[in-house]
């Protein structure tokens, strides 16, 4: 072999060596960049049909990946299907592991809370604000016999259990209400298994059933938020029912007006004359259905009321004072409102 040809072969071999070395370093770099783990803590929402480059751009902006181009070609080469959804990753992840998580299609969840004492009108507002229902749809469904039959309910009020929920963004109004009702069945119905009503409950309700208990609980819920007062007020409701007295509960008046589209901020004396089966100033006995969705404490208070001789209560500074006689009740009212001077200006929670 000639000297010149030897030099060419050497140069070729050097080139091949450098090329192979370069390829080795490139692949080592790619491998390292794809597999090197780091601590991440981020949330990411991927829209339906969102392009891979856009997803990688989001990840780069979140500083959880460094080389989006390498990752892009790796995804395309391996035909990795990134799926729409909401993702929350925290811990040690490599870029490949992050992409693998993004193939799971985790559904996006919307958080909302139904507070204790919320009625179907409040639930309608909450769910419409979150985009699950159209405004007024909950009210419409509460009157839909087919929908109620599908839930095995006579009425919806009282069964939309107060709680914090995480529900798929794609859920519709009926689905969300079913979730809340199933939550009620899971948490409340076990309380009624083997339930032996106290005598005061039997005497007050006559025929004891879950619907009547829930109705009492709903009134208790609207009357007080103080746990230790709930069994006392439940006991007063039963005492008045036993004696054939009207319950005269202000929350039932508010609810009566709400049913006809009037939202009262405060009551005046004439409002208690409003003719409605829900108005317990106007009608004897319990309202036909619950007036709100009560929490567990109020339901338990209605099931196991405190036995007392109280028949009346009046609010003072967020709490209540209780009386056995109407005369004592009036004395408390005069004391609270300075012998009646402020009674024209304020609403008395008078039972």
Q: Are residues 57 and 125 in the same domain?
A: no
How much is the average pLDDT of 214-243?
Answer: 98
Q: Are residues 85 and 115 in the same domain?
A: no
Last residue of a domain, one of 79, 106, 133: 106
How much is the average pLDDT of 184-200?
Answer: 97
Last residue of a domain, one of 187, 221, 240: 187
Better-predicted residue by pLDDT, 53 or 17: 53
- Does 35 have pLDDT greater than 90? no
Q: Are residues 40 and 90 in the same domain?
A: yes
* pLDDT score at 205: 97
How much is the average pLDDT of 110-138?
Answer: 98
How much is the average pLDDT of 67-92?
Answer: 90
Q: Are residues 303 and 212 in the same domain?
A: yes
Better-predicted residue by pLDDT, 114 or 69: 114
Q: Are residues 38 and 99 in the same domain?
A: yes
Structural domain tally of the chain? Answer: 3
- Does 83 have pLDDT greater than 70? yes
What is the span of the domain harbouring residue 75? 31-106
Residue 164 within any structural domain of the chain: yes
Residue 155 within any structural domain of the chain: yes
Q: Are residues 218 and 304 in the same domain?
A: yes
Residue 335 within any structural domain of the chain: no
Cβ pair 237, 307 in contact under 8 A: no
* pLDDT score at 133: 98
Q: Are residues 87 and 149 in the same domain?
A: no
Average pLDDT, the chain: 90
- Per-residue burial over 182-202, b if 16 or more Cβ lie within 10 Å, else e, is ebbeeebeeeeeeeebbebbe
Q: Are residues 286 and 256 in the same domain?
A: yes
* pLDDT score at 347: 44
pLDDT bucket at 346, cuts 50 / 70 / 90: very low
* pLDDT score at 112: 98
Cβ pair 42, 62 in contact under 8 A: yes
- The pairing of beta strand 312-316 with beta strand 163-168: unpaired
How much is the average pLDDT of 165-181?
Answer: 97
* pLDDT score at 345: 43
Residue 157 within any structural domain of the chain: yes
Last residue of a domain, one of 106, 132, 154: 106
Residue 74 within any structural domain of the chain: yes
- Does 3 have pLDDT greater than 80? no
Angstrom distance (rounded) from CA 161 to CA 149? 18
pLDDT bucket at 147, cuts 50 / 70 / 90: very high
Angstrom distance (rounded) from CA 199 to CA 238? 10
Angstrom distance (rounded) from CA 234 to CA 75? 64
């Amino acid at each position: 072999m000639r000297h010149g040809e030897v030099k060419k072969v050497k140069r070729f071999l050097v080139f091949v060596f450098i090329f192979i070395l370069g390829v080795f370093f490139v692949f080592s770099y790619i491998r390292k960049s794809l597999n090197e783990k780091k601590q991440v803590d981020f949330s990411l929402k991927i829209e339906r049909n969102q392009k891979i480059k856009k997803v990688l751009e989001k990840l780069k902006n979140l500083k959880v990946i460094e080389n989006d181009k390498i990752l892009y070609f790796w995804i395309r080469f391996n035909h990795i299907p990134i799926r729409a959804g909401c993702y929350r990753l925290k811990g040690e992840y490599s870029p490949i592991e992050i992409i693998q998580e993004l193939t799971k299609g985790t559904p996006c969840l919307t958080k909302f809370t139904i507070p204790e004492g919320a009625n179907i009108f409040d639930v309608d507002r909450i769910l419409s604000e979150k985009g699950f229902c159209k405004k007024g749809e909950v009210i419409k469904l509460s009157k839909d016999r087919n929908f109620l039959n599908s839930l095995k309910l006579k009425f919806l009020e009282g069964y939309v259990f107060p709680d914090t929920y995480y529900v798929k963004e794609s859920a519709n109004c009926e689905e969300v209400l079913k979730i809340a009702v199933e939550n009620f069945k899971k948490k409340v119905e076990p309380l009624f298994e083997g339930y032996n009503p106290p005598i005061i409950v039997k005497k007050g309700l006559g025929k004891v059933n879950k619907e009547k208990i829930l109705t009492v609980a709903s009134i208790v819920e609207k009357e007080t938020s103080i746990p230790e007062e709930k069994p006392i007020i439940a006991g007063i409701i039963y005492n008045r029912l036993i004696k054939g007295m009207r319950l005269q509960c202000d929350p039932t008046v508010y609810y009566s007006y709400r049913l006809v589209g009037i939202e009262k901020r405060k009551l005046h004396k004439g409002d208690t004359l409003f003719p409605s089966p829900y108005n317990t100033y106007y009608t004897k006995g319990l309202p036909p259905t619950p007036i709100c969705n009560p929490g567990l404490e109020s339901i338990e208070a209605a099931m196991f009321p405190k036995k007392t001789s109280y028949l009346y209560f009046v609010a003072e500074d967020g709490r209540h004072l209780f009386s056995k006689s109407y005369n004592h009740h009036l004395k408390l009212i005069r004391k609270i409102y300075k012998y009646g001077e402020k009674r024209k200006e304020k609403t008395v929670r008078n039972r």
